[in-house]
Amino acid sequence: MHTLTKILGELVSLFVDDGTLAATILIWVAFYGLLLQPLPMGSWQGPILFIGLAVILIENTRRAPPPYPPPQAGEGREGAG
């Protein structure tokens, strides 16, 4: 049973790498669909949806840790110069 749970967890991680990003997108799309779409906005519906998703992606990217740790003080390229 433990192996099956691990396999399902790996399968989900293939599609959802960051749970907060996926949850935030689902919340934004639900909010947009339930509350904003019925409003008379004309041709602004698409750009509003796009801008919201872009803001979510930018915010999530800014929160992400760097791909590698920054060099410590005193650690430089040896032999350079």
Would you state the pLDDT for residue 69?
76
Whether 53 is in a domain gets the answer yes
The residue range of the domain holding 53 is 11-36+44-62
Whether 71 is in a domain gets the answer no
Whether 29 is in a domain gets the answer yes
Non-local (6+) Cβ contacts of 24 within 8 A are: 56, 60
Total number of domains in the chain: 1
Whether 75 is in a domain gets the answer no
- Angle of helix 45-63 relative to helix 19-31, nearest 10 degrees, comes to 160
Among candidate residues 71, 33, 77, 73, the one with its CA nearest the CA of residue 52? 33
The H-or-E segment that residue 29 falls in is helix 19-31
What would the pLDDT profile of 14-62 be if each residue is shown by its tens digit?
766 778 888 899 999 999 989 887 888 788 888 999 999 999 999 988 8
6 has a pLDDT exceeding 70: yes
Would you state the pLDDT for residue 78?
59
Q: Hey, what are 8's tokens?
A: 């399902």
Whether 80 is in a domain gets the answer no
2 has a pLDDT exceeding 90: no
**What is the rounded distance in angstroms from the CA atom of residue 27 to the CA atom of residue 18?**
15
Would you state the pLDDT for residue 61?
86
